[in-house]
Amino acid sequence: MKKAISLGLAVFFVATLVTGAMAFGPEYGMGKGYGMMASNLTPEQAQKFAQFQKDILPLRQKMLQLKTELMALRTQTTPDWNAIAAKQKEMVDVRTEIQKKATETGITGFGPGSCKGGKGKGMMGMGRMGM
């Protein structure tokens, strides 16, 4: 009897996990939001792209810090909407700087929301809607 209950609970638990994973679909993975095209690069392009990622790492860290600060501002009991707007403008400035560096490097068509072959929902947010 205990084995049957244990087995039933295990099946229920696994079914619940699988259902939850299926509900999100493939575009909510842990990727960086650069889609399938990043795997089709020549060695020179891959090297340029890797250098670009190293160059923008401080900007990505700044974006993460700003997102954390924005979440803290939004969860206050009485949100300061002026501070929230200022934080969002800061995030836009950082995102623009990343795009500027991409253009200067000659990298186009990459980044959150502009994914080739995927939906761009990755490490930097949920596409353009998440930032």
Query: What's this model's pTM, rounded to 2 decimal places?
Result: 0.54
How far is C-alpha 102 from the geometric centre of its chain's CA atoms? 17
Q: How many domains does the chain have?
A: 1
Q: Residue 45 falls within a domain, yes or no? A: yes
- Is residue 37 assigned to a domain? yes
pLDDT digits 0-9 by tens, 18-38: 555 555 444 444 444 554 455
Domain assignment present for residue 73? The answer is: yes
Helix, strand or coil for residue 122? Answer: strand
User: Is the pLDDT assigned to residue 56 strictly greater than 60?
Assistant: yes
pLDDT at 42: 82
Amino acid 108: pLDDT = 72
Whole domain around residue 64: which residue ranges? 29-126
Q: Does residue 94 sit within a domain?
A: yes
Do residues 107 and 50 touch, judged by C-beta distance below 8 A? no
Where do we find the tokens 């900007």? 59
Strand partners for 121: 126
The CATH number of whichever domain residue 81 belongs to comes to 1.20.120.1490
Q: Which of 1-5, 26-30, 85-89 has the lowest mean pLDDT?
A: 26-30
- Summarize the confidence of residues 30-57 as an average pLDDT: 73
Query: Is 15 part of a structural domain of the chain?
Result: no
Report yes or no on 110 lying in a domain. Answer: yes
> And the tokens for 14?
């696994």
For residues 118 and 131, what is the distance between their CA atoms, to the nearest angstrom? 18
